[in-house]
Structure 1
Amino acid sequence: MSKRLGKGLGALIPELEIGEEDKVIEIPLNQLRPNPYQPRKHFNEDSIQELASSIKEHGVIQPIIVRTVLKGYEIIAGERRYRASQVSGMATIPAVVKKLSDQQVMEIALIENVQREDLNAMEVAVAYQSIIDQFSLTQEELSVKVGKSRSHIANFLRLLHLPESIKQHVSRGTLSMGHARAIVGVKDDKVKKELTESCMNGQWSVRQLEEEIKRREELGSGTEDKEKQKAKDKKKDPYIHQFEEQLQDHYRTTVKIKHQNYKGKIELMYYSKDDLERLLEMLQGQSS
Structure 2
Amino acid sequence: MHDSQAQVEEVSLDQIRPNPYQPRKHFEAAKLEDLAASISEHGVLQPIILRKTVRGYHIVVGERRFRASQKAGKTHIPAIVKDMTEAEMMELAIIENLQREDLNAVEEAESYRKLMDDLKLTQKEVATRLGKSRPYIANMLRLLNLPPAITGYIKAGKLSGAHGRTLLVLKDEPTMKRTAKQAIREAWSVRYLEKYVSELTSEEKKPSKEEPSPKKPRLIQREERRLKERYGTNVAITTKRNKGQITFEFTSEEEFLRLIEAFNSES
The answer as to 2:189 corresponding to 1:205 is: yes
- Name the CA shift for 1:280/1:124 in 2 (closer, same or farther; >3 Å): closer
- Name the CA shift for 1:204/1:101 in 2 (closer, same or farther; >3 Å): same
Which stretch shifts more, 102-111 or 159-168? 102-111
Q: Specify which of 223, 237, 241 is matched with residue 243 of structure 1.
A: 223
Instruction: Tell me what 1:90 maps to.
Output: 74
The answer as to 2:85 corresponding to 1:106 is: no
Instruction: Tell me what 1:256 maps to.
Output: 235
- Name the CA shift for 1:31/1:280 in 2 (closer, same or farther; >3 Å): closer
- Name the CA shift for 1:260/1:103 in 2 (closer, same or farther; >3 Å): farther
* Offset, 1:258: 5.9
> C-alpha distance in 1, partners of 2:124/2:252?
38
Residue 233 of structure 2 aligns with an amino acid whose one-letter code is T
Q: Deviations over 1:21-72 (max 9, x none)?
A: 1111111111111111112221111111111111111111110001012211
The question of whether the paired residues in 1 share the 8 Å contact of 2:48 and 2:79 is answered with yes
The answer as to 2:163 corresponding to 1:157 is: no
Instruction: Tell me what 1:277 maps to.
Output: 257
The answer as to 2:128 corresponding to 1:148 is: no
TM alignment of 1:115-264, pairs within 5 A: 115-220=99-204, 237-244=217-224, 247-248=227-228, 252-257=231-236
- Name the CA shift for 1:248/1:212 in 2 (closer, same or farther; >3 Å): closer
- Name the CA shift for 1:72/1:50 in 2 (closer, same or farther; >3 Å): same
Q: After the TM superposition, which segments of 4 or more aligned residues of structure 1 sit over 3 Å from their partners?
A: 235-238, 245-250, 258-267, 269-272, 277-284
Instruction: Tell me what 2:28 maps to.
Output: 44
- Name the CA shift for 1:281/1:184 in 2 (closer, same or farther; >3 Å): closer
> C-alpha distance in 1, partners of 2:99/2:9?
26
Instruction: Tell me what 2:12 maps to.
Output: 28
Instruction: Tell me what 1:64 maps to.
Output: 48
Which stretch shifts more, 99-108 or 135-144? 99-108
Q: What is the percent sequence identity of the aligned residues?
A: 41
Residue 253 of structure 1 aligns with an amino acid whose one-letter code is G
- Name the CA shift for 1:114/1:41 in 2 (closer, same or farther; >3 Å): same
Normalised TM-score (structure 1) = 0.79
- Name the CA shift for 1:40/1:282 in 2 (closer, same or farther; >3 Å): closer
Instruction: Tell me what 1:11 maps to.
Output: none
The question of whether the paired residues in 1 share the 8 Å contact of 2:227 and 2:235 is answered with no
> C-alpha distance in 2, partners of 1:282/1:31?
58
Residues matched between the structures, number:
259
Q: Deviations over 1:149-191 (max 9, x none)?
A: 2232112210111112212222222222121111122211122
The Cα RMSD (Å) is 3.0
